[in-house]
């Protein structure tokens, strides 16, 4: 039998989630509270940006430290910085490490986001 002649049977999946109705207006306020907590408070964070070559076989990296936020927020910021610098990077010990010397570019980007920056 050819593949063209086969009839495909639709697959029906059972949904694990059910729709819930509530007359209480405050029933789902916990979702809004979680979103508010996830916002990064940039005004209270003093960040330090410096260049490092130690134990990296002579390769230069830009390190940003001084964050006081959740790991998920730090991961999002690291992703934005890597895209800005067209470079790789990682997060270690609550520090963002970007490959290459991008101190000034990162400084202007973070200042536009509202962070206080100190260059070392």
Residue 69 domain boundaries: 41-119
Task: Work out the pLDDT band at 44, boundaries 50, 70, 90.
Answer: confident
Phi-psi region of 66 (alpha: psi -120 to 50; beta: other; left: phi over 0): left
Residue 69 inside a domain? The answer is yes
Residue 9 inside a domain? The answer is no
Mean pLDDT for 81-109 is 94
Q: How far is CA 95 from CA 15, 43, 49, in A?
A: 41, 18, 10
Find the CATH number of the domain harbouring 66.
Answer: 3.30.780.10
Residue 57 inside a domain? The answer is yes
Could you tell me which of 85, 115, 117, 111 has the C-alpha nearest to residue 98? 85
Residue 108 inside a domain? The answer is yes
d(CA 37, CA 85): 28
Residue partners of 115: CB distance under 8 A and separation at least 6: 42, 45, 47
d(CA 58, CA 52): 9
83: number of Cβ within 10 Å: 9
pLDDT of residue 41: 67
Helices 103-113 and 71-85, axial angle in degrees (round to 10): 130
Residue 34 inside a domain? The answer is no
Task: Work out the pLDDT band at 10, boundaries 50, 70, 90.
Answer: very low
Least trusted range by pLDDT, from 19-23, 85-89, 94-98: 19-23
Model confidence at 91: pLDDT above 80: yes
Q: What's the number of domains the chain is made of?
A: 1
Mean pLDDT for 60-84 is 92
- Mean pLDDT across the chain, nearest whole number? 80
């Amino acid at each position: 039998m050819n593949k063209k002649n086969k009839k495909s049977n639709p697959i029906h999946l059972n949904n694990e989630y059910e729709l819930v109705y509530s007359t209480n207006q405050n029933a789902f306020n916990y979702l809004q509270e979680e979103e508010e907590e996830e916002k990064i408070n940039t005004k209270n964070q003093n960040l330090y940006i410096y260049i490092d070559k130690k134990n990296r076989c002579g390769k230069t990296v830009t390190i940003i430290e001084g964050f006081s936020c959740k790991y998920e927020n730090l991961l999002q910021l690291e992703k934005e910085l890597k895209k800005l610098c067209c470079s790789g990077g990682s997060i270690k010990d609550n520090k963002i490490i970007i490959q290459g010397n991008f101190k000034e570019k990162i400084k202007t980007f973070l200042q536009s986001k509202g962070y206080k920056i100190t260059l070392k």
